[in-house]
Amino acid sequence: MSTGHKRPSGSGRLLTGVGSGQAKTLKESPPNKKARNSKHGESSVNAEISSSSSPVKPETLIDIFCDPENPKKVQFQDVSAAAYKIKTGIFHTPCSKSRLSDQLGMDIYFKKEFLQFTGSFKERGARYALLSLTPEQKKIGVIAASAGNHALALCYHGVDLSIPVTVVMPKIAPLMKVQNCRTYGAEVIIHGKSIFESREFAMKMGKENGKMYINGYDHPHIIAGQGTMGLEILEQVPDLDACIIPVGGGGLLAGTALAIKNLKPEVQVIGVESENCPSFSVSLKAGKAVYTESLSTLADGLAVPVVGVNALETAKRFH
Ligand SMILES: Cc1ncc(COP(=O)(O)O)c(C=O)c1O
């Protein structure tokens, strides 16, 4: 695999996944300080794990569900299954015509996903991922690292579905989001100066406790869940010509493109990313997820230096 990172001599990475029964060792990349601009932190950039009391050695971990050597192409059936499963628990948000329409001489609609309970579309994937766990996994619970919306979504739906959720949030996570996660009743751990440290900690803890790690933009169920937004948009705007999707790790774009292109291939699906972090377009050109230097951007939630491998694999066929 290559993510465009430089490799240190002798560094190893344990590819691991709870409940997957698979594990293999990869030679992979080192921590990369340039990646710290990302808010998501679920890219394959790694940070060292410092705890010494743990039975898990301080190897860097990667996620079996987001394996760069075996990326998963999510299918339309996955989105349909997600739509069926999350019918209850997720709002069918309005997609209303904007006043900008007259000004710009075209019909512009906004899909108001901020009206989901926690304020973002991330709930779709989170709820579907939780509902797709085996009964055993539902008892043990899941773990994730996030500074914001993915954490909120998982915490809220975990509590709603009585599935234990642990989120690891970096010290820089907005206080309001940390408090809200706690208010929902989930376990919140503040760990790490950056989301990269939180992620490594979460993955290590997941491995120790048997909790599945859920990547917020690249777990296949997350991508399928986000795709349900595309289904709703088609229902709400039947004569849709084009759909513009913001791109961070690429989960929302991949899922939505999958839904829309399968049902209406003539609709243009346009991903928009920050000029200061063009990781998705760079990776599309390269044909694989490559590390892309990220400069600071107002759209900090979209600054993901390495996009999701499954998201890329799923979206690239529509390119
Ligand atoms: C409002 C909003 N739009 C788009 C995105 C990008 O989603 P993804 O990381 O799945 O590409 C995010 C990510 O957090 C977001 O918060």
> What is the position in ligand 1's atom list of the atom closest to the CA of 120?
1
Question: Which residue range forms the structural domain that includes residue 272?
Answer: 76-111+219-318
Which residue among 150, 215, 217, 218 is best mutated to probe the pocket of ligand 1, counting the most ligand atoms within 8 A of its Cβ? 217
Residue 236 CA to residue 70 CA, distance in Å, equals: 35
Q: Is residue 47, in this structure, part of any structural domain at all?
A: no
Ligand 1 centre distance from Cα of residue 252 (Å): 7
The pLDDT value recorded for residue 26 is: 28
Closest CA to 68 of 122, 21, 4, 19: 4
DSSP 244-310: EEE-SSSHHHHHHHHHHHHH-TTSEEEEE--TT--HHHHHHHHTS---------S-GGG--SS--HH
Q: Is residue 307, in this structure, part of any structural domain at all?
A: yes
Residue 195 CA to residue 239 CA, distance in Å, equals: 41
Ligand 1 centre distance from Cα of residue 214 (Å): 15
Q: Is residue 16, in this structure, part of any structural domain at all?
A: no
> What is the position in ligand 1's atom list of the atom closest to the CA of 250?
11
Partners of residue 97 on adjacent β-strands = 109
**How many C-alpha atoms does 278 have within 13 Å on its Cβ side?**
6
Ligand 1 centre distance from Cα of residue 68 (Å): 21
Q: Is residue 305, in this structure, part of any structural domain at all?
A: yes
Q: Is residue 206, in this structure, part of any structural domain at all?
A: no
Q: Is residue 186, in this structure, part of any structural domain at all?
A: no
C-alpha separations of 37 from 89, 123, 198, 304 in Å? 33, 24, 14, 8
CATH code for the domain of 265: 3.40.50.1100
- Which residues are within 8 A (CB) of 293 and not within 5 positions of it... i.e. 6 or more apart? 34, 305
C-alpha torsion angle, residues 87, 160, 257, 242 (rounded to 10)? 70
The pLDDT value recorded for residue 298 is: 86
Q: Is residue 29, in this structure, part of any structural domain at all?
A: no
Q: Is residue 312, in this structure, part of any structural domain at all?
A: yes
Which residue among 252, 280, 284 is best mutated to probe the pocket of ligand 1, counting the most ligand atoms within 8 A of its Cβ? 252
Residue 318 CA to residue 90 CA, distance in Å, equals: 27
Please report, in tens digits, the pLDDT of each residue of the chain (319 residues total): 233 333 333 333 334 344 333 333 223 333 333 333 344 444 333 322 233 344 444 456 779 999 999 999 999 999 999 999 999 999 999 999 999 999 999 999 999 999 999 999 999 999 999 999 999 999 999 999 998 999 999 999 999 999 999 999 999 999 999 999 999 999 999 999 988 899 999 999 999 999 999 999 999 999 999 999 999 999 999 999 999 999 999 999 999 999 999 999 999 999 999 999 999 999 999 999 999 988 888 888 888 999 999 999 999 999 9
C-alpha separations of 41 from 84, 123, 127, 160, 198 in Å? 30, 18, 21, 26, 8
Ligand 1 centre distance from Cα of residue 42 (Å): 12
Which residue among 214, 277, 302 is best mutated to probe the pocket of ligand 1, counting the most ligand atoms within 8 A of its Cβ? 302
Residues with CB under 6 Å of ligand 1 are 120, 149, 217, 246-253, 301-302
Which pair of structure tokens corresponds to residue 245? 């999707």
- If one counts the domains in the chain, the total is 1
Overall pTM > 0.95? no
Ligand 1 centre distance from Cα of residue 270 (Å): 14
Question: Is-contact 116 123, C-beta < 8 A?
Answer: yes
| Burial grade of 279 (CB within 10 A; 0-12, 13-18, 19 or more) | buried
What region does 11 belong to: left with phi over 0, alpha with psi -120 to 50, or beta?
A: beta
Ligand 1 centre distance from Cα of residue 95 (Å): 18
